[in-house]
Amino acid sequence: MQTHKLPKLPRLLEQKIYKTGQTRGADDDEIYQNRVGRNSTILIPFSQFDKYLKDKTYGMKFENGYIVLLSPNEYYGKNIIKKLKHLKLIFGRNLLLFYETREQWENFNPFTKKLTPANNRKEPLGGEFVARIPATTAKENGTKISYGFNETKNKGAGIRAYEYASAEIIAKTKLQLEAIFWHCKDSLNIVTEYGMNKSDANERKNNVIECAKNNELLDYAKLFSARILNKHKIAICPLCLEEISSKGFFTRLEQADGREVIDLTVTNLNLFHIEELKYGNFNHMIYNLGWGHHHCNIVIKDSGIKHTLIWMHNVIEKNIGEGYIKF
């Protein structure tokens, strides 16, 4: 899978490809880790656990383990002890109570039940519960409640389960994504504009594409079917299908007058999941990742391309029907 040492990419592009192997950001008030590798410990809601047991890709084998999060309502309100035992879920080993609401905290206070907040991502977890309850002004003493995985050096219990990818998959997707970059119609011109000399750019492009082919990552029929490249083998945005300019990897979004943000780092082109990330699936995979416009990504959110296109079609049809637009 490895290529020999190649000339370096421009810094912004190198960082963008590197970050595809990381999870999305998470606030301090969340249970998730912020911007860490996709092969980190995963957090699985108990309601979704069966899906992961049956998964054909990993079958519950994760490089840094998993932690199942169980609602106090479900644990104390239902007789599920036998089910937990059957599933081999044990508090403090691979299972934690997760407090998310003030009502849960008041009804099933963990300290009155002699439970300890957990702080380790691998067994033993060091406790039986974790809490992330936002502050509220609706109640007296409605301060934020945060226990477990909230220290500076140990923030977040793990990553969202659906963001997981093994180290091998991360390496393959990075290679494939760079190969896709080199299929932008102007990639050679743009990288030289941003610091590479032409000879180095050609050397890197040829080597990366060759390595991708050797590792079965450049099946053009699959890339076309996935809306990543068009029939001319040029990189496109998976939603609008426009051929993308690699200039978009280096340029920041235009901002509305009077609403500028000084430290804006969002570029015009970003990582694009063809099949959206969702519980029960591992969609950070080869042939499911491309590069797309930031605004197209925003439109899709978590709905996926198919549902977004249906919604867009209905919106246009209604506007035509009401006479707001004409073609």
Model pLDDT for residues 103-112, shown as the tens digit of each residue: 999 999 999 9
Q: What is the pLDDT of residue 136?
A: 86
Contact 17, 178 (CB under 8 A): yes
Q: What is the pLDDT of residue 193?
A: 96
**C-alpha triplet 260, 264, 268: angle, nearest 5°:** 100
264-292, pLDDT tens digit by residue? Answer: 457 899 999 999 999 988 999 999 999 99
CA distance 166 to 175: 14
Q: What is the pLDDT of residue 301?
A: 87
168-213, pLDDT tens digit by residue? Answer: 999 999 999 999 999 999 999 999 999 999 999 999 999 999 999 9
Mean pLDDT over the full length of the chain: 92
CA distance 96 to 74: 12
Altogether, the residues listed in the chain come to a count of: 327
119-158, pLDDT tens digit by residue? Answer: 999 999 999 999 999 998 777 778 999 999 998 888 999 9
3-state secondary structure 119-163: CCCCCCCCCCEEEEECCCCCCCCCCCEEECCEECCEECCEEEHHH
How sure is the predictor about 260, in pLDDT bands with cuts at 50, 70 and 90?
A: very low
Q: What is the pLDDT of residue 257?
A: 44
Residue 229 has a CB neighbour count (10 Å cut-off) of 22
Q: What is the pLDDT of residue 256?
A: 40
DSSP one-letter string for 191-241: HHHTT--HHHHHHHHHHHHHHHHHTT---HHHHHHTTSB-TTS-BB-TTT-
- The reply to whether the predicted model has a pTM over 0.85 is yes
Query: Is 50 exceeded by the pLDDT of residue 8?
Result: yes
Which residues, at least 6 apart from 111, have a Cβ–Cβ distance to it below 8 Å?
A: none
61-73, pLDDT tens digit by residue? Answer: 899 999 999 999 9
Strands 145-147 and 129-133: antiparallel
CA distance 15 to 125: 33
CA distance 91 to 70: 10
Handedness of CA 39, 41, 45, 47 (dihedral sign): positive
